[in-house]
Every structure is written in C-alpha cells, then in structure tokens.
Amino acid sequence: MDSKKSILYVFLLATLITLALGQARIGFYQTSCPQVETIVQTAVQSAINSNPTIAPGLLRMFFHDCFVNGCDASILIDGASSEKTALPNSLLRGFEVIDAAKTQLETACPGVVSCADILALAARDSVVQTGGASWQVPLGRRDGLVSRASDAASLPGFNEPINALITKFSDKNLNIQDLVTLSGAHTIGTAACVLFSYRLYNYNNTNGPDPTIDPDFLPTLRNLCPNGGDGTRRVALDTGSVGNFDTSYYSNLRNGRGVLESDAALMNNPATKALVNRFLGIRGMAGLSFNVEFGRSMVRMGNIELKTGNQGEIRRVCTTTN
C-alpha cells in the first residue's frame, strides 16, 4: 500500500471510529465539503443583517433540538405532530435560514452535510454576529428519523424551579455550570409577555408580584405587559443590552431583573448563584470567562445523543414532512 493510500486508510478508519463512538469531530468535512462553514456563515450573516431577531431564534432552535432526542435536526421536520408543533417550539424562528444554507450546500456538495450540522454551525455564527466569541464546532452528526411533539416534554420550562432545571440538564449529561452558562444565551433573547406576566400581578395567588423582582424594575415590566394586555408582545430578557452577547444578563439576575422565572431561579440556589457571580467577577471568587465557557458548554450540548450509521440520515431537504 503506497503512502497516499495509507493516509486515506487512516483518515477513513479514524472517521469510522469517531462515528462508532457517537462523537462529532473538528474538520469532519475538510475534504468532502470544505466550503461548509463559509456557506453557513454567509447565510446566517445575511439573515441577521435583515432581521436581528434571527440570531436568538437560531440559538434557541439548536437548544430545543438538542434537548429532544439529541442534536439531530428533528426540530426542523414538518408534520401534524412533529416537534415543531409542540407548544414550547411554537415561536421558534429562523427555519428559512437553515433551508437557505442547505440549498447552497446541496449545490456545492450534494448529499454530504447534515441539517443537524448546519444548525450547530448556525447557532455558533449567531453568537459571533451579536458580538460573542467564536469556537470550533465538532461536526459529523446525522439527521434524525423521528420527530414527535410529545417528546418536547424534556425541554426545560420557563417557570420550572431550579431543582427541576438541574435535573433536566443532568438527564442530558450537562452539569450545573452548563445550566448557568447556557442560560446566558438569553443575553440576546426576548420572551412573550404570556410567559412571565403572571409574576407581575398575582404571583402564586398572593395578589402581588413575585417578591424576588426588583421593585424599581417592576413598573417597567408592568408597563410593557399590562394586566390582561397583549400576551404576544415580546420583551428583552437582558434589559438594557438586548442584541449584544455579553454578561449583562448575569448583572440583571444579580439585581433582581431576571424576566423569566427560570432565569431568576438561578439566584435561588447557592451553586448556581455562585456561578452567576463568577461570571461577573465578584471579588473573592474565581472568575469565569463567559465567552470561553459558553463555547465549551455549547460543544458539550452539541454532543447529546448523536445519531450514527442507520440511526440517522443525511437529509437532502432540511424542512421536510416525516
């Protein structure tokens, strides 16, 4: 066997071993589709330039995909009872961006790049487009064959207590630091009034607001979401810094300005509260770099329940009927 054949053999063997272990890897498309990252990045950049709300939409879409049967693009599948129809996914946005990138990739390297990998790259590029740091995205996922709305019950809820959130992350082999870090994605997100207005008026049937909300912040939220008002109105989850990927989200949590109950809950547990403070560089605590840790946690989340071999496929069209 000559040297070139030997190198190719080793490369293919390494690829097969990686897939057998159910792990993605850096440079997976280096020879089969070297343009993949550039094509996805261009599609994401164009979409966000036209509509900045696409950035948090794509990031949230990846999160919602990974927490339901793994990072397999099952969130993209259309159908009467697919994941996309589940209530927690009803307001997701950015599907057309994944389709646009896939169309271009099918021209450049047909049948090679999975929709799951496109979504993973798009989530990273959304962070970069809003001022966050980049990270290397391991690739090699295959697309899932199943998409059921009922499976969306595994998604962390906007009103769940901290112990429930910790358990749901642990079920996906993600730890408390991953929970606090990935919650930081809300630095560029918004939420509909219907998801948190119950905290403002009659919290737990007390005829008053959630006592953990900063009293000086309460009038702002009530003005945005009046009692009985438009529940679809969207409000920044990171007041004063919406659209900027930074640590302002954690400052707001520390100051009682978390909008969603699940965000505010991070201050209700000593371990999660300590991590919030470490991201803020509180004196006397070892600091953490949000950008660095976010990339690491995204890689860990991106490895949830990867599909290999006949467990998945390479879809030619990402948004399709199952």
Binding-site residues for heme b, please? Answer: 186
3 state SS for 186-226 = HHHCEEEHHHCCHHHHCHHHCCCCCCCCCCCCHHHHHHHCC
Compute how many other C-beta atoms are within 10 angstroms of the C-beta atom of residue 300. Answer: 18
Compute how many other C-beta atoms are within 10 angstroms of the C-beta atom of residue 92. Answer: 18
Q: Which residues make up each annotated binding site for Ca(2+)?
A: 65, 68, 70, 72, 74, 83, 187, 238, 246
- Note if 309 is an active site residue: no
Q: Which residues make up each annotated binding site?
A: 65, 68, 70, 72, 74, 83, 156, 186-187, 238, 246
Total number of residues shown for the chain: 322
Phi, psi of 229 (to 5 degrees): -85, -165
Residues 289/203, Cβ–Cβ less than 8 Å? no
Q: Three-state DSSP class for 151? A: helix
Q: Which residues make up each annotated binding site for substrate?
A: 156
In the numeric block, the tokens 């990339």 are attached to: 295
Plot region of 207 (φ>0 → left; ψ -120 to 50 → alpha; else → beta) = left
Q: Which two tokens stand for residue 201?
A: 């008026």
Residues 169/292, Cβ–Cβ less than 8 Å? no
Catalytic residue, from 28, 48, 64, 315: name it. Answer: 64
Residues 94/61, Cβ–Cβ less than 8 Å? yes
Active site residue ranges: 64
